[in-house]
Homo-oligomer: A and B are copies of this chain.
Amino acid sequence: MPRIVDHAERRTQIVHALWLVIAQQGIEGVSLRHVAAAAGVSTGRIQHYFGTKEALVLAGCTALVDSAYGGYLETEQAPPRERLLHVVSQQIPRDDAGRAGVSVWYAYVARSINDDAVRQVLAEARRGAEDECARLIRAAGAGSAPPGTAGDPALVQARRLLALADGLTLRVLVGDLDPAEATAMLADEVRAS
């Protein structure tokens, strides 16, 4: 009896192989041949699911964003402040796999300067996260901002928390800040917000 083909699973398998290639060789090192070898499938199958190399690279960026969002949805039952801490601290790399994941994300960030489609995916993801964090801050009945700051306090605080998280992630990635220190700092900020 032929195995029932799970298209979503096959796509995921190829995207994971793509991330592996990006982590090791950068986005410029991506070729259908490399990804096919890493996934253990034919280049024809990759083309069947994703079309061109460019479309595959873009799908990998969208999948990165979707994967973070999926993790967030699992926190639905938690109180707002706990969900907020999840959003801002989930990207802090805690092991080699986390570091590889974040380096793929930075590879896309670097790429965004020459690739409008990638830039748009990253920009929308960041803006979506900001809106969601602002919503959580309001739900927690919080939203303080430094004196003299203009704008919606919850949105300003959301922007501040996310920027802080991105900056601390970078520090942990280059290895001069401990993941536990970064997470503790974010927890302090979430508690104070």
Contacts and interface: CB of A to CB of B under 8 A. Distances in A.
Interface of A: 23-29, 99-100, 103-104, 106-107, 109-114, 119, 122-124, 126-127, 146-150, 156, 159-160, 162-168, 170-171, 173-177, 184-185, 188-189, 191-192
Nearest to A113: B103
A174 B126 contact: yes
Nearest to A166: B167
A110 B174 CA distance: 9
A99 B159 CA distance: 20
Nearest to A159: B185
Contacts of A29: 28
Given A23-B113, A110-B103, A185 B170 contact: no
A159 to B, nearest CB: 7
A26 B103 CA distance: 14
B166 A119 contact: no
Given A127-B176, A146-B188, A163-B171, 4 more contacts: A126-B174, A159-B168, A163-B170, A166-B170
B106 A148 contact: no
Contacts of A100: 113
Contact of A168 (B112, B163, B168, B170): B163
A188 B149 contact: yes
Most buried by B among A109, A110, A112, A122: A110
A47 to B, nearest CB: 23
Nearest to A191: B148
